[in-house]
Amino acid sequence: MRDFLVLRVVAKIMMAFMLLFALYVQFHGDFGPGGGFQAGVIAAAAIIFYAIIFGLPAARKVVPDRLVEAMVAAGVLLYASVGVAGMLLGGNYLDYFVLHADPVEGQHRGIFWIEAGVLITVAGVMLKVFYLFAGRPSEDEDGQ
């Protein structure tokens, strides 16, 4: 698909909006529908879209394999460490109200960070699965 000029130009424009929409869903999740899971999937979909149009090597250059694998683990670690942070500050595990002097503000902070963790892990796993499936050689090429 690398030869279709229209697709390439439209994809380049669309990419920005897709990633922006993912960020909107992420950070607006407090007020409207959305959150880490949805935003992670949309962000991964944007990268997969890029990979379909421009080819897998180009996408691997933008989001390298090692970064994706690091994202898979980093999200869970971020989520879990928010819980540990709450414990260190004198609350129970995953208590958010201790994260700030004002309990409601603390809730906001806690939710912000765990949603970020969810986003990172979900986007990482989705991308990794796509890379692994798309990166395997077809059975025909493999047979010989």
Helix axes 5-27, 103-135, angle to 10 degrees: 150
By the rule CB under 8 A, 104 interacts with another protein: yes
Residue closer to another protein, measured from CB, 13 or 143 = 143
- Asked if 70 and 61 count as a contact pair (C-beta separation under 8 A), the reply is no
Residue closer to another protein, measured from CB, 54 or 96 = 96
By the rule CB under 8 A, 23 interacts with another protein: no
Site string for another protein, 58-97 (x = CB under 8 A): -----------x--xx-xx--xx--x----------x-x-
Structure tokens, 27: 């950070």
| Distance separating alpha carbons of residues 5 and 1, to the nearest angstrom | 9
